[in-house]
Structure 1
Amino acid sequence: MTKNIAIIGASGYTGAELIRLLATHPSFVIKALAANSKAGQSMADVFPHLRHLDLPALVTWEEIDFDQIDLCFCALPHKTSQEVISKLPGHLKIVDLSADFRLRDPEEYTKWYGNPHIAIETQKEAVYGLTEFYRNEIKGARLVAGTGCNAATGQFILRPLIAGKVIALDDIILDMKCGVSGAGRSLKENLLHAELSEGYNAYSVGGTHRHLGEFDQEFSALAGEPVRIQFTPHLMPVNRGILATGYVKGDPKAVYQTLVDAYKDEPFIEVLPFGATPSTHNIRGSNFVHIGVTGDRIEGRAIVVAALDNLCKGSSGQALQNANLMLGEEETAGLMLAPCFP
């Protein structure tokens, strides 16, 4: 049985990635595409790499007949997303790719995103969208809040270790390298080719990155006590990919076995043999996560490295994985594409 899908924010990178993935889905059909700034244009004009697909023209989101839609992906910036979602019909299933419904405490949202939450009642029904850890809740949800791509990567490393009590909670360092597409498609001076290429820099240094709100929320809930990690992201001059390196205090073999046990039945997460480490090359364009563990020269410390594609498993692939669960489809439907290499 086919399901009708709409995408609001189809002219951004995550919107285009959703379309790429949905094109191979066995039962989801794209019925409406909205991008208010480009309404009236075809997707072939906005994204020529999608011109082979028979897609509806872009419209404003207000023009969509949501009575004919089973599920809507909302791929808008934060603040805009909550404004739009609060006006959508109450029966509509929604997967939001923005930050607007990730943080359960509205005050925490204001702290990290700088504006008050205007859809607090809607926030109360949102389920956090880290599929592997909220699968049962997602199945029955009306609104799922996709995670931040950095937040997802860090949690794949650290959640099982915190829950399994195999690492010290007061000594966790997360170093992350991020591809430029994570910053979105809007024009920004620091993302111009001449400004970005041949360089490499840290940003949001000293605990100011917004995804720390998700780490604080999720890790503290797991541990039953406040957990604060050190986290520094770095901008790489590559289009896609996140490589996260976690430095933890704990027995390396226990850390490794905990991750193996946690992910042994997960279709998209691969724990490499002990001592091997992943590369963003090997997950590019896919919904897969590769995780590697090795010991440090300092006894009692472990290094855990994870790689994923920020646009796919970190955002649009995760969103489709959640939509599959919400609509009773196979969780892996449309998502088993092999990574693109080289």
Structure 2
Amino acid sequence: MDTKPLRVAIVGASGYTGAELVRLLADHPGVTLVALTGDRKAGQALGEVFPHLAQGAGGRFPDRLVSTDQVAWNDVDVAFLGLPHGAAQELCLGLPPSVRVIDLSPDFRFADPAVYTQWYGLPHKAPELQAQAVYGLTEFARDRLKDARIIACPGCYPTSIQLPLVPLLETRLIDPDDIVIDAKSGVSGAGRAAKEGSLFAEVAEGVHAYGVAQHRHAPEIEQGLSHAAGQALRVNFTPHLMPMNRGILSSIYVRMTRGTDADRLRATLAERYASEPFVRVLDAGAVPATRHVRGSNHCLISVFADRITGRAIVFSVIDNLVKGASGQAIQNMNVIAGLAETTGLSQRPLFP
């Protein structure tokens, strides 16, 4: 392994995921942050955009945001892209082949570019690069990540849902045609741009469903679960917005295959994740909560027998900005750099 620090650029550092990347990478021993971009806030001090990052920078990262066209790409080893959909494809077409891309947008998540066009309403601008992209659900993609030019980081909801369901589908313990997902997310999942639906008065003291039967994460979830099941499947997926900043709780209702019970589901998941640093399966009767993972790269999973015979309830919680975005992206970078996956990600959850 090359011990020389990776030269890293964060494109879109003025958004929530960009800020989390700076926070987590600032003290990462294998990284030198060489460029932070934020086109709408170019020229501003990082501490003006994110006051919490102004303290103790000590030269560990640039103190001002620049526009993307000011980056000296030949001096960059890894680029994290935290851009709106459509922008990453266009940028990647112009990057030197030597730059490894870790994309947090949906631009390279779909193996079939036509699915991206259908759900995001834009033509895929770089279909020739799609073949070079690896879907970066780290726990299931390590071998393919190592040599990938482009890593497409999963969405936050798909991460929270695939981690518990993929092993159960691979082992044929649940019915792939009977999966119901009720997921709840904090407001930061909507991004930092000003939106009426994200105003305090619109979100506080209430909860509401959104993207009903048409959320863009549904086909991404189905792509991963179909691969695990070995057959095309559809899921019933409904997301809800919660009056909190961070976190995702996915409540997943499944029908078990004949001869299977909730204890076997739990044991299968516990065995699959026994050596994983960031995924933990809880003991019987324990219910995970978003506050148990806040600020961390952890995923907690639990399994309960439903009172309806033959059915089970699976719970999964993550921090949408860390394991659901920036933390998982850094975990993927650690893989391609040959570093321990926990490097820079050993922060304990924040409580309360």
Please give the alpha-carbon distance, in whole angstroms, between the structure 2 residues aligned to 1:149 and 1:86. Answer: 26
| SS of residue in 1 equivalent to 2:176 | coil
Consecutive unaligned residues in structure 2, runs of 5 or more:
none
Give the alignment of 1:277-292 within 5 angstroms.
277-292=287-302
Please give the alpha-carbon distance, in whole angstroms, between the structure 2 residues aligned to 1:255 and 1:302. Answer: 9
Please give the alpha-carbon distance, in whole angstroms, between the structure 2 residues aligned to 1:328 and 1:270. Answer: 23
Please give the alpha-carbon distance, in whole angstroms, between the structure 2 residues aligned to 1:154 and 1:3. Answer: 31
1:243 and 2:249 matched: yes
Give the alignment of 1:125-136 within 5 angstroms.
125-136=132-143
Select which of 230, 239, 260 maps to 2:236: 230
Maintained 8 Å contact 2:77/2:98: no
Query: Post-superposition shift, 1:160?
Result: 0.6
Give the percent of matched residue pairs that are identical in Structure 1 and Structure 2. 50
| SS of residue in 2 equivalent to 1:259 | helix
Please give the alpha-carbon distance, in whole angstroms, between the structure 2 residues aligned to 1:70 and 1:230. Answer: 40
Q: After TM superposition, where is structure 1 displaced by more than 4 Å over at least 4 residues in a row?
A: none
1:48 and 2:21 matched: no
Query: Post-superposition shift, 1:3?
Result: 1.6
1:168 and 2:208 matched: no
Aligned to 2:319: 309
Query: Post-superposition shift, 1:260?
Result: 0.8
Aligned to 1:115: 122
Matching residue's letter, 2:162: Q
Maintained 8 Å contact 2:106/2:152: yes
Matching residue's letter, 1:168: D
Aligned to 1:91: 98
Aligned to 1:333: 343
Query: Post-superposition shift, 1:77?
Result: 0.8
Query: Post-superposition shift, 1:132?
Result: 0.2
Matching residue's letter, 1:332: T
| SS of residue in 2 equivalent to 1:31 | strand
Give the alignment of 1:130-149 within 5 angstroms.
130-149=137-156
- CA shift digits 1:153-191 (9 cap, x unpaired): 010121011001001111111110001000000000011
Q: What value does the CA root-mean-square deviation take over the aligned residues?
A: 0.9
Aligned to 1:260: 270
Aligned to 2:190: 183
- CA shift digits 1:35-69 (9 cap, x unpaired): 11111111011000000213312111111111111
| SS of residue in 1 equivalent to 2:79 | strand
Query: Post-superposition shift, 1:140?
Result: 1.3
Please give the alpha-carbon distance, in whole angstroms, between the structure 2 residues aligned to 1:64 and 1:179. Answer: 33
Give the alignment of 1:63-102 within 5 angstroms.
63-102=70-109
1:221 and 2:242 matched: no
Matching residue's letter, 2:239: P
Please give the alpha-carbon distance, in whole angstroms, between the structure 1 residues aligned to 2:302 and 2:161. Answer: 13
Maintained 8 Å contact 2:73/2:99: yes
Please give the alpha-carbon distance, in whole angstroms, between the structure 2 residues aligned to 1:255 and 1:120. Answer: 39
Select between 50-59 and 281-290 the one with higher mean Cα deviation. Answer: 50-59
| SS of residue in 1 equivalent to 2:268 | helix
Matching residue's letter, 1:210: R
Maintained 8 Å contact 1:157/1:246: no
Select between 257-266 and 312-321 the one with higher mean Cα deviation. Answer: 257-266
Aligned to 1:104: 111
Please give the alpha-carbon distance, in whole angstroms, between the structure 2 residues aligned to 1:282 and 1:212. Answer: 26
Please give the alpha-carbon distance, in whole angstroms, between the structure 1 residues aligned to 2:341 and 2:266. Answer: 26
Aligned to 2:28: 25
Please give the alpha-carbon distance, in whole angstroms, between the structure 2 residues aligned to 1:153 and 1:99. Answer: 16
Select which of 203, 222, 231 maps to 2:210: 203
Aligned to 1:61: 68
Please give the alpha-carbon distance, in whole angstroms, between the structure 2 residues aligned to 1:298 and 1:196. Answer: 34
1:14 and 2:17 matched: yes
Query: Post-superposition shift, 1:24?
Result: 2.2
Maintained 8 Å contact 1:16/1:47: yes
Matching residue's letter, 2:248: I
Please report the TM-score for the alignment, with normalisation by the length of structure 2.
Answer: 0.95
Consecutive unaligned residues in structure 1, runs of 5 or more:
none
Please report the TM-score for the alignment, with normalisation by the length of structure 1.
Answer: 0.98
Matching residue's letter, 1:173: V
Maintained 8 Å contact 2:156/2:320: yes
Equivalent pairs counted in the alignment come to 341
Select between 54-63 and 100-109 the one with higher mean Cα deviation. Answer: 54-63
Matching residue's letter, 1:281: R
Please give the alpha-carbon distance, in whole angstroms, between the structure 2 residues aligned to 1:302 and 1:61. Answer: 48
Please give the alpha-carbon distance, in whole angstroms, between the structure 2 residues aligned to 1:96 and 1:168. Answer: 32
